[in-house]
């Protein structure tokens, strides 16, 4: 209820302000309409098939956040001031003096120096990324994702958003501490002048700041101008007061003794003590201080609101770092040289350093004991309060402003589904009101801790992780050198960026190895989520460039190696036509290439198409393969006949050793009634694959014949369409109905190894049974006896062979009765198949398609053997889930096309899914 009311209030308030601004400013910018992004892959495929209508609206991409009445900021207002406001945070007036007390002047300068080096290196890296292309809204997420990829960009962006949310609560706690001290000095309290008052005041302050940010850039800019003036005035107020020295004896007894060499000498070395239950040392003090330097990203966080972000971010950030580091150094030195670590506050102790030192256990004043000592040292104390509030609230305001935009960019790009809800845009300029509610809730939760020293080290880890990844992004891009890496900012170095990355990681581990591991685990989790979801992006990051370079290098290395049977992998060329019309072919290809291989799904069309249609077909086919989780590529070839196109594909597909070595085609179910030219083309395609050195597989998954006999309506003009796969006749599927190839636990795969084909007839079943399916299948082997060898000897020989090849099986059978004549019923079935394809020689010339009596007599022995094999397969493998059988070799000069198809048909008719397999004469794949 509270969130809903806040959203309504924000929108109403923004609407009123827009009306007022429209009366003042005649020229207003146009709303950001955005451009359509890619829709969900499944929806696009279904829309392509006409299954669902196109939506009326599309998601917008990462918006170019010109949100606030068309306001665009320069480098001073948009980068320098936000960075200064972010860097001049809670540590400036509340902890820098305490840090000097703990670490001493020397170590404090070292801490500031190390922090400054990290931030300067990160700024140089960030500047290189910022100047490498056009920037839009989304801050760090946009910069990293477009440079290194969505996985790293989203992970870094979300970690940064979380760190900024917590930093907002930390700075709000700092404001509350100062405010409580002021109330306490006047004897006023809400509950206890401690944690509970901090929670109450902080909650109100957070809510007010979120409202200011949600109202718009004009209000936030006005607030920033006032805050920066207040902080600068407070800094000079402190410097002047410290240089002038104590004005009263009360200031002296409370530790402000004025700048002197003696005081500097006393405070030069460290004096680490226990504070608020924690034993401090150099690392803990560094962890508390470092968040004060984490404002270098402020300009990048609002890069969409900058007039020229590529020029503004480097200039403004580096100037801000120089100014802020100088101010911290001056204030640290003045604190250490002008105030004592411990003071009693009693006038009687003036001039007695021994008494001052003796009060250590119970001292209430001094650098160690009084967080408000800067008010004492300033020219006018109340101005330090104002500066402290301005510094803390301005940093919190900057953090609160950046998070909703980053979350909105992540949600709009659909990187993390959980953030899509918070990316909804409100009003004319697309305000992220839901994002403000989210950051308010996160900041409020950490504000309830109400302990600044507890929150600071946590933020340090997240900021260091983010800075480490920013430096790594620059190093990676500069090292890989993708073509699109052309940053306008030249003052960076890849090894300097790498040093920054290593430095951040080392500091993280030193501060807290446990928190470093937790941060790393969170980052890896976010990274793997994006990697697993694989959002559709075309940002061409440096990781893509690296993958390309590595891939090309490995392909070239592989092309130099000689082919070896031990490294054989099935690489399929599948002639599917339109991918969604022969899904069973893709299923088989997916099973065979499931582990460590790939397939090429090909469609050949005789008519030429324009470039747009060709690209649409290729994109559709590729996405169809991805939708079916197939490993491979889709190829569309137009302007070729089927035979010419297949020759072109075999000769030109693949690269080097990654060329196809197995050809997969579906069985022609309608061979008896199709045009003769279609039958001839099919037969020639099988022969062509053998001629060009490929192994050939023919898949038959369903009978697809009797059930559709009455609906057969192939007109002559549909021949080309069916052949080249442009269009399948609406009456039936030429290559059979679709039956999903799904194998359950305990499924049986029967292997009929009838001829020696180099072993591929055994290797493919092994791959299918053990690697291609979710559940391991049982292999049953059927072989013919060796000529002139006893059955038992053939059995032992085959058994030893399979042991040598390390192929496990559940059953081995040597077929003894292969020479038994086929039954009359089988002959009758065969004769009915070829009845319409019988002919006689014409002028002594044999038809290459039809079957003459002379051919039947000449090939009677082979035909008889195939018919007998059909009976044996029906007897032994009728209950199998898949049959793999040796494919008869197509001899075009002696075997007509019709007879060859009749052999395949009679063998596989009314059987479970059958895969005919035969290696080429050059193929030898089994090895010891």
Tokens of 588: 């088989």
Element (H, E) at 715: none
Domain identity same for 138 and 258: yes
> Is 31 inside any structural domain?
no
Q: What does the pLDDT read at residue 786?
A: 82
My answer on whether 222 and 295 are in the same domain is: yes
User: Is residue 182 within 8 Å of 385, Cβ to Cβ?
Assistant: yes
Are both 372 and 418 inside the same structural domain?
yes
Q: Decide which of 515, 533, 551 is a domain's last residue.
A: 533
pLDDT at 769: 87
Q: Is residue 539 situated within a structural domain?
A: no
Q: How far apart are CA 37 and CA 423, in angstroms?
A: 15
Within a domain: 559:
no
* The residue count for the chain: 928
Give the model confidence (pLDDT) of 262-299 as tens digits.
999 999 999 999 887 788 999 999 999 998 888 887 77
Domain that residue 241 falls in:
75-533
Tell me if 219 is assigned to some domain.
yes
- Sign of the Cα pseudo-torsion (292, 297, 301, 302, in order): positive
Residues 505 and 632 reside in one and the same domain? no
The total domain count for the chain is 2
Same domain, 453 and 309: yes
Kindly state whether residues 664 and 797 are assigned to the same domain: yes
Same domain assignment for residues 515 and 607:
no
**DSSP 3-state of 66:** coil
Query: 42 lies in a domain?
Result: no
Beta bridge partners of 634: 601
Q: Do 457 and 501 belong to one domain?
A: yes
Find out whether 266 and 337 touch, Cβ atoms under 8 Å. Answer: no
Minimal CA–CA distance to 438: which of 856, 6, 118? 6
Query: Domain check: are 593 and 499 in the same one?
Result: no
CATH number at residue 748: 3.40.50
For residue 687, CA distances in Å to 43, 59, 829, 860, 886 come to 40, 51, 26, 22, 15
| 9 within some domain | no
CA gap 70, 81 in Å, rounded: 20
Question: Do 732 and 711 meet the contact criterion of CB atoms below 8 Å apart?
Answer: yes
The answer for residues whose C-beta is within 8 angstroms of residue 287's C-beta and 6 or more apart is: 456, 457, 460, 511, 512
Instruction: Report pLDDT for 293.
Output: 86
The tokens for 229 are: 């003036």
pLDDT recorded at residue 734: 38
State the Cα–Cα distance between residues 410 and 114, nearest whole angstrom: 32
CB 719 within 8 A of CB 680: no
675 domain-assigned: yes
Can you give the CATH number for the domain in which 318 is found?
1.20.1740.10
Residue appearing with tokens 């090894």: 495
- 332 and 291 in one domain? yes
In which residue are the tokens 């989203």 written?
Answer: 154
Among 444, 743, 694, smallest CA distance to 587 is for 743
- Give the distance from CA 683 to its chain's centroid: 46
640: left (phi over 0), alpha (psi -120 to 50) or beta: beta
Q: Are residues 904 and 826 in the same domain?
A: yes
Low-confidence ranges of the chain (pLDDT < 50): 1-3, 5-7, 9-10, 13-14, 17, 19-69, 353-355, 704-738, 928
Q: Which of 304, 334, 267, 313 is nearest to 138 (CA)?
A: 304
Residues 501 and 614 in one domain: no
Kindly state whether residue 134 falls inside one of the protein's structural domains. Answer: yes
């Amino acid at each position: 209820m509270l969130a809903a009311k806040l959203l309504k209030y924000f929108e109403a308030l923004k609407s009123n302000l827009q009306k007022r601004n429209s009366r003042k400013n005649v020229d207003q910018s146009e709303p950001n309409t955005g451009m359509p992004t890619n829709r969900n892959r499944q929806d696009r495929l279904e829309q392509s098939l006409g299954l669902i209508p196109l939506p009326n609206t599309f998601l917008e991409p990462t918006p170019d956040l010109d949100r606030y009445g068309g306001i665009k900021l320069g480098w001073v207002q948009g980068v320098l001031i936000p960075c200064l406001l972010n860097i001049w945070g809670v540590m400036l007036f509340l902890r820098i003096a305490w840090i000097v007390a703990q670490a001493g002047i020397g170590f404090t300068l070292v801490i500031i120096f190390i922090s400054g080096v990290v931030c300067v290196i990160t700024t140089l890296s960030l500047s290189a990324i910022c100047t490498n292309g056009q920037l839009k809204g989304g801050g760090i997420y946009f910069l990293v994702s477009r440079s290194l990829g969505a996985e790293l960009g989203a992970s870094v962006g979300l970690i940064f958003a979380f760190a900024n949310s917590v930093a907002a609560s930390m700075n709000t706690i700092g404001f509350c501490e100062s405010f409580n001290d002021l109330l306490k000095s006047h004897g006023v309290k809400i509950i206890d002048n401690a944690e509970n008052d901090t929670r109450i005041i902080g909650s109100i302050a957070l809510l007010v700041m979120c409202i200011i940010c949600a109202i718009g850039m004009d209000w936030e800019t006005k607030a920033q101008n006032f805050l920066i003036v207040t902080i600068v005035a407070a800094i000079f107020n402190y410097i002047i007061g410290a240089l002038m020295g104590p004005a009263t004896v009360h200031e002296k007894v409370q530790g402000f003794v004025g700048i002197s060499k003696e005081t500097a000498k006393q405070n030069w070395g460290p004096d680490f003590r226990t504070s608020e239950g924690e034993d401090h040392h150099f690392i803990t003090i560094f962890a508390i201080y470092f968040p004060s330097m984490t404002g270098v990203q402020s300009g990048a966080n609002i890069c969409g609101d900058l007039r020229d972000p590529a020029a503004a971010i480097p200039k403004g950030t580096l100037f801000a770092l120089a100014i802020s580091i100088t101010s911290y150094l001056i204030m640290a030195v003045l604190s250490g040289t002008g105030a004592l670590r411990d003071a009693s506050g009693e006038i009687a102790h003036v001039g007695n350093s021994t008494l001052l030192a003796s009060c250590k256990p119970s001292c209430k004043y001094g650098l160690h004991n009084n967080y408000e000592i800067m008010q004492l040292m300033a020219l006018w104390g109340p101005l330090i309060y104002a500066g402290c509030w301005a510094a803390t609230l301005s940093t919190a305001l900057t953090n609160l402003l950046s998070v909703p935009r980053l979350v909105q960019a992540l949600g709009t790009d659909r990187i993390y589904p959980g953030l899509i809800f918070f990316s909804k845009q409100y009003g004319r300029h697309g305000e992220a009101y839901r994002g403000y509610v989210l950051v308010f809730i996160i900041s409020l939760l950490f504000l309830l801790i109400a302990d600044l020293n507890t929150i600071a080290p946590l933020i340090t880890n997240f900021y260091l992780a983010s800075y480490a990844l920013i430096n790594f992004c620059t190093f990676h891009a500069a090292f890989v050198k993708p073509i699109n890496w052309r940053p306008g900012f030249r003052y960076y170095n890849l090894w300097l960026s790498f040093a920054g990355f290593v430095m951040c990681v080392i500091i993280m581990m030193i501060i807290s190895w446990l928190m470093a591991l937790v941060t790393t685990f969170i980052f890896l989790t976010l990274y793997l989520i994006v990697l697993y979801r694989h959002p559709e992006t075309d940002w061409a990051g440096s990781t893509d460039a690296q993958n390309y370079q590595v891939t090309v290098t490995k392909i070239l290395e592989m092309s130099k190696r000689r082919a070896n049977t031990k490294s054989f992998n099935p690489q399929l060329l599948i002639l599917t036509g339109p991918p969604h019309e022969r899904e069973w072919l893709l299923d088989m290809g997916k099973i065979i290439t499931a582990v460590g291989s790939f397939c090429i799904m090909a469609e050949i069309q005789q008519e030429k198409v324009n470039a747009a249609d060709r690209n649409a077909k290729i994109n559709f086919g590729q996405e169809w393969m991805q939708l079916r989780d197939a490993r491979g590529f889709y190829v569309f070839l137009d302007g070729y006949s089927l035979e010419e196109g297949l020759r072109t594909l075999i000769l030109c597909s693949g690269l080097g050793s990654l060329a196809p070595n197995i050809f997969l085609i579906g069985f022609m179910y309608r061979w008896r009634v199709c045009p003769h030219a279609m039958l001839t083309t099919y037969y020639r395609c099988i022969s062509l694959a053998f001629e060009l050195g490929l192994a050939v597989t023919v898949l038959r998954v369903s009978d697809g014949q009797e059930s559709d006999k009455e609906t057969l309506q192939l007109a002559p003009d549909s021949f080309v369409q069916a052949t080249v796969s442009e269009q399948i006749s609406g009456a039936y599927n030429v290559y059979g109905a679709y039956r999903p190839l799904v194998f359950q636990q305990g499924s049986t795969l029967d292997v009929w190894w009838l001829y020696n084909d180099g072993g591929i007839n055994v290797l493919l079943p092994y791959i299918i049974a053990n690697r291609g399916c979710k559940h391991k299948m049982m292999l049953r082997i059927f072989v013919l006896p060796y000529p002139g060898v006893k059955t038992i000897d053939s059995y032992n020989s085959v058994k030893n062979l399979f042991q040598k090849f390390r192929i496990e099986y559940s059953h081995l059978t040597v077929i003894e009765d292969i020479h038994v004549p086929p039954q009359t019923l089988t002959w009758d079935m065969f004769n009915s198949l070829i009845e319409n394809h019988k002919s006689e020689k014409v002028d002594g010339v044999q038809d290459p398609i039809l079957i003459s009596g002379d051919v039947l007599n000449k090939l009677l022995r082979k035909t008889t053997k195939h018919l007998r094999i059909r009976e044996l397969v029906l007897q032994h493998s009728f209950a199998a889930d898949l049959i793999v059988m040796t494919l008869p070799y197509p001899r075009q000069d002696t075997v007509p096309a019709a007879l060859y198809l009749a052999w395949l048909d009679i063998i596989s008719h009314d059987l479970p899914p059958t895969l005919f397999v035969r290696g080429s004469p050059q193929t030898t794949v089994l090895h010891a």
